[in-house]
Amino acid sequence: MQLKLILKDGTEVVGKSFGYFSQKKNVSADGEVVFNTGMVGYPEALTDPSYRGQILVLTYPLIGNYGVPSDQALRHVSQQLESEKIHLRGLVVSEYSSDYSHWRAKKSLEDFLIKHRIPAIQGVDTRALTQKLREHGVMLGKIIPVDAKFDRSMAFSDPNINNLVAEVSCRKKEILNPKDKRVATVALIDCGIKHNILRSFLNRGVRVIRLPWNYDVSKLREKYDGLFISNGPGNPKLAIQAAESVRHVMKESKPIFGICLGVQIMALAVGADTYKLKYGHRSCNQPCTDLKTGRCHITSQNHGYAVDAKTLPKGWSVWMKNENDGTVEGIRHKTKPWFAVQFHPEASPGPEDAAYLFDEFVELMAK
């Protein structure tokens, strides 16, 4: 069966279906079309809640050759993936390999897509498509059967007008305890958290109080040593309640750490501004320089918004910057124990150059 991806500017790309699709029901999938340049990491990308509402184009030419690991979860924490389900709306690749081999593989990529009812297209020049998205910027798109009727006047669904954080955050408070001796307790605002962040805390002996994105931290009864704001999808300005919780904790001068959407929410909490990038950063090889030490980290990234450096208030400074385009990759308060980064120090996938940031945060909480 053939499918086509239609972009809002009228571009049509035709390929062969290899995921879920029901022609009888004339099912369509629409969202924001974005690209990722990573050579590996499709299982992690598929299950990353930050891709909520998006159609993902992978530039690496061969996808599926190492299958998908087990999606087993323990107390709502996936043991190998980044959440318990696929969050993106569709997948576009150059060539799909149904013949997979890896010691952790439990199923094929196609079987994984079918289980979660996600359509996918193969046989597409994804690098040419990526060039178009780089020149124009991310666009809305729709995946439909190749022979389905499509009226140009039909509206494209824009996921960014919705509060996507509310769709992917946990629904209620839960407490996760480490196996080994507890060294600290973190109150964690779940905006669509990657599960390797949870594993990174638990493996360091940190007790996690996982909270919904709109939980009023001022009413939290349990004692905690610091606050963490997670990654997540969409426009950070729609996560107002999370920013309010950050402001409350700042009054107590407790350590605060944020990742990805977390840096944007922290910036908004102190009065700075954010803006949408032309095509975002989604890869495993983004170079980011620590302006204090001069050290350059190779980082894993997945975001479409950024902090406006010019709007940071007194007492705050740009800590990390992206060497490709100069955008803000980290902010830090000059005297308080508050810092956040735009990239993913927990990796999964990608390099672990910046994993030490978890150690620095845990050390601050344990004081």
**346 has catalytic annotation:** yes
DSSP conformation letters of 162-216? S-HHHHHS-SS-EEE--SS---EEEEEEESS--HHHHHHHHTTTEEEEEEETT--
The answer to whether residue 344 is catalytic is: yes
Question: In sequence order, which ranges of 9-163 are alpha helices (DSSP H)?
Answer: 42-46, 109-115, 126-136
Catalytic site residue from 297, 303, 333, 344? 344
Active site residue 333: no
**Choosing from 260, 281, 288, 297, which is the catalytic residue?**
260
CB 316 within 8 A of CB 332: yes
CB 179 within 8 A of CB 203: no
Residue 6 in contact with residue 142, Cβ under 8 Å?
yes
SS3 99: coil
Q: Using alpha carbons, select from 335, 329, 239, 333 the residue that is nearest to residue 290.
A: 329
HSE toward the beta carbon, residue 52, CA cutoff 13 A: 25
Return d(Cα 306, Cα 258) in angstroms, integer: 13
Exposure string for 340-358, b = 16+ CB within 10 A, e = fewer: bbbbbbbbbbbbbbbeebb
State how far the Cα of 167 lies from the Cα of 164, in Å rounded to an integer: 5
User: Between vectors from CA 74 to CA 69 and to CA 79, what angle results, nearest 5°?
Assistant: 30
Residues in a beta bridge with 289? 296, 321
Amino acid identity for residue 326 in this structure: G
Catalytic center residues: 260, 344, 346
